[in-house]
Amino acid sequence: MRISEAESQVMEVLWRRHTPQSAEDVCVALAGQQEWQEATVKTLLNRLLKKRAIAAERDGRRYLYRPLIKRADYVHTESKSLLDRLYGGRVSALVAHFSMRMKLTKKDVEELRALIEEIDRER
C-alpha cells in the first residue's frame, strides 16, 4: 500500500489519537502544520478508505475514522521499501551513504555502536 505524504499526515493524526476522529477533528489537529480546508481532509480520508488504511463509522451526520494499519507496520514497510529500492536491501549501504553525505555526530556513532553490540548479544 502506498500512502502519499499528505495522506501520511492524516494517518499520523489518527495514530496519535486513540479514539476515532471526525474530518473536523483531523483539520483541527493539522492546523499548525497545514492550512487544509475540511474538503481537502475529506478527500485524503476517502483515499485512505479506498486503500483500506482506515475505516469509517457513521456517527449521526458525520463519520468517525480510525486506522486499520498500525504505525509500526507502516514504518516497517516503508523503511524496507526504501532500503530495497535505494540500497539493495543493505542497511550498511544506507549507513555508509549517510556517513559520507552527512556528518554523523559523536552521539550518532555511539548509538550505532551500541545497536551493533546489542544485535551481536542477541545472536
User: What is the DSSP annotation of 3-62?
Assistant: --HHHHHHHHHHHHSSS-B-HHHHHHHHTTT----HHHHHHHHHHHHHTTSEEEEEETTE
**Which residues fall within 8 angstroms of residue 90, CB to CB, at 6 or more apart?**
83
CATH number of the structural domain 5-67: 1.10.10.10
Q: Are 55 and 65 in contact (CB under 8 A)?
A: yes
Residue 99 has a pLDDT of 85
What pTM value is reported for the model?
A: 0.80
Beta bridge partner(s), residue 62: 59
Between β-strands 62-67 and 54-59, what pairing exists: parallel, antiparallel or unpaired?
antiparallel
| pLDDT, tens digit (0-9, with 9 covering 90-100), for 18-46 | 899 999 999 999 998 888 899 999 999 99
CATH superfamily of 71-122: Penicillinase repressor domain (1.10.4040.10)
Question: Average pLDDT for consecutive 10-residue bins of the chain (123 residues)?
Answer: 93 95 95 90 97 97 97 94 94 88 87 93 89
**Boundaries of every domain in the chain:** 5-67, 71-122
